[in-house]
Amino acid sequence: MTFEDQLKQFISQDLLNGRVEVDSEDSLLEDDMVDSLGMLRLVMHIEEKLGIKIPHEDLIIENFHTVGVIVNYLDERGVLTKS
């Protein structure tokens, strides 16, 4: 399972209680899938799973708009390994 799939599963199961399947291009905030508390939980989940600390200045909508955007952001930072 890719990290992208893990993120979609976490959002669907943990943040949305299994009510919605999440696609890589779903707008997490604009579609009201994740609120501000959910976004905080998502960031904490990412930090825990990858053993990183996301800088405060990087906690902007442009980096966390969709799961695909999150994965691209993490890849650009060099914290994801290609498998």
More confident residue, 71 or 29: 71
Q: Say how many residues make up the chain.
A: 83
For the segment 23-57, what is each residue's pLDDT rounded down to a tens digit? 999 999 888 889 999 999 999 999 999 999 999 99
pLDDT of 83 over the 90 cut: no
Helical H runs in 1-83?
3-10, 36-50, 61-64, 67-76
Q: Which of 10, 19, 15 is nearest to 48 (CA)?
A: 10
Give the Cα separation of 18 and 49 in Å (integer): 20
Task: For residue 34, give every residue at least 6 positions away whose Cβ sits within 8 Å of its Cβ, in sequence order, or none.
Answer: 11, 15, 16, 28, 42
DSSP 5-16: HHHHHHIIIIIS
Say what the pLDDT of residue 31 is. 85
Domains belonging to the chain, first-starting first, are: 3-76 (1.10.1200.10)
What is the pLDDT, as a whole number, of residue 39?
94
Query: For the chain, what percent of residues have pLDDT higher than 70?
Result: 96
Both structure tokens of 70: 């999150």
